Amino acid sequence: MIAYQRKSPAAGGRIALAVLLGLLLGLTPAPDRLTPAASAAAGDVGYAGPSTSGDGSAATGEKPESKLWWHDGRWWAVLFHSASQTHRIFWLDRPAQTWADTGTVVDNRAKTRADVLWDGAHLYVASHVRASSSTAAASGNPARLYRYSYEPATQAYTRDAGFPVQINNYSTETLTIDKDSTGVLWATWTQGAKVYVNSTLGADTTWGTPFVLPVTGATGLDADDISVVVSFGGGRTGVMWSNQPTSAVFFAVHADGAAPSSWDVGRRAIQGPKSADDHINIKTLLADPSGQVIAVVKTSHDEGGSQSAPQIMLLSRDPATGDWSAHPVGRVKDCHTRPIVMIDSENRMVYVFATAPDSGCPFSGADGTIFMKSSPLDDISFPAGRGTPVMRDALSPHLNNVTSTKQTVDSTTGLVVLASNDSTQRYWHADIPLVAP
């Protein structure tokens, strides 16, 4: 078992306390308030982790995908193991703030990207060969579904017989999965300027034939548009996707148990000039039977728009009407990119994490520091500015692609987020405590 660390736990405790106090007081702490007294590099925030060498760029990408999960009192992750050039299951030793390698291999292909789902009984990992917006999806590169069972006595995961199985046969920029209320697994991705979906047929090992989502707005996409799937309360599954040619983000809904091809007409979650970009992350309040869904998206207002125009938007779906409301998280001048959203179900708080340089904006999409902003879930309003820095590599300010879990979090789990540094080829993480109400 190999563990990795850069920062001392004592320093990390001071960072976590500073973040917590800022949240409790409703403040956005200045960067120097979060600088640890003892660290490998003055000005670091968060913890450096294992090497990503050999896994290509954006080891923690892509935007809608989740690499972490919480189970049995631990945070777990699918990380790249450089020595073997494989992806493996790791767990976070929180007292030491180090990632420990379990030795359990997921995908033996370097430069694949995973989306992880823990459903309470099994661990599902959908792993795909990564294509970028400049590299078209190519056949002969299967996306695989892995399933694992957990043994509490040994705190170990074992791959189930019959896995992996094939979801599709294409490399794609993103691919996400979720499980509906009837036990059907769903997957979505974009390919050939269209939104594709697929689902299981009676067993996790049996997948149907991928098909284009049969709704308005699911074709004629830009080459780098993406999609994401989410199962939510009321026995429904949704797919959200960007459509940059129409300046809209769409959301279509499927009733669990209906025919796989039965979807609604595709409602727009947001629309208007420069309202769409290929940055989407979505979560649902799992304990809410009415089906509250929250998403965070990036707009294209940075392309010649005002510095005060909204760049990052939080979208909230009204469970009663299905309508969406939009709330600014950051402005063009804040230079945020690649946001994700997390929900604290106990305190009914919503958190947005995004990348931005510490100052200035050399270009939209610049790497730098991972910032956090928060808002009450029932009265959504985010403070101005870039937010609280939760991960910063002082010697190499090139962190990007923050990721976490599909699950909601609370005071028992705390909140762990992961990012990567392409320059140093290393993972980083932040561990943020959440207090009971």
- SS3 state at 244: helix
* Terminal C-alpha separation, the chain: 37
Domain span at residue 43 reads: 3-64+173-432
Residue 319 within any structural domain of the chain: yes
Strand, helix or coil for residue 151: strand
Asked if 338 and 402 touch (Cβ cutoff 8 Å), the reply is yes
pLDDT per position as a tens digit, 393-432: 999 999 999 999 999 999 999 999 999 999 999 999 999 9
As a whole number of Å, the CA-based R_g of the chain is 20
127: DSSP letter: E
Structure tokens that stand for 33 in this block: 């308030």
Q: Is residue 194 part of a domain?
A: yes
Residue 89 lies in a domain: no
What domain count does the chain have? Answer: 1
Give the domain CATH number at 297.
Answer: 2.130.10
Task: Using CB atoms within 10 Å of the CB of residue 89, give its burial: 0 to 12 exposed, 13 to 18 middle, 19+ buried.
Answer: buried
- Does the residue 314 lie in any domain? yes
For 330-366, write each residue's pLDDT tens digit. Answer: 999 999 999 999 999 999 999 999 999 999 999 989 9
193 inside domain:
yes
More confident residue, 18 or 303: 303
What beta strand segments (E) does 200-309 contain? 211-212, 227-232, 236-243, 248-255, 267-271, 280-284, 293-298
Q: Rounded CA gap, 265 and 271, in Å?
A: 16
In a domain, 156, yes or no: no
Q: What whole-number distance in Å separates Cα of residue 142 and Cα of residue 140?
A: 6
What value does the mean pLDDT of the chain take? Answer: 91
pTM, full prediction: 0.91
* Residue 98, in any domain of the structure: no
Q: Is residue 151 part of a domain?
A: no
Residue type, 207: W
Q: Does pLDDT of 229 surpass 80?
A: yes
Tens digits of residue pLDDT in 29-64: 333 333 333 345 899 999 999 999 999 999 999 999
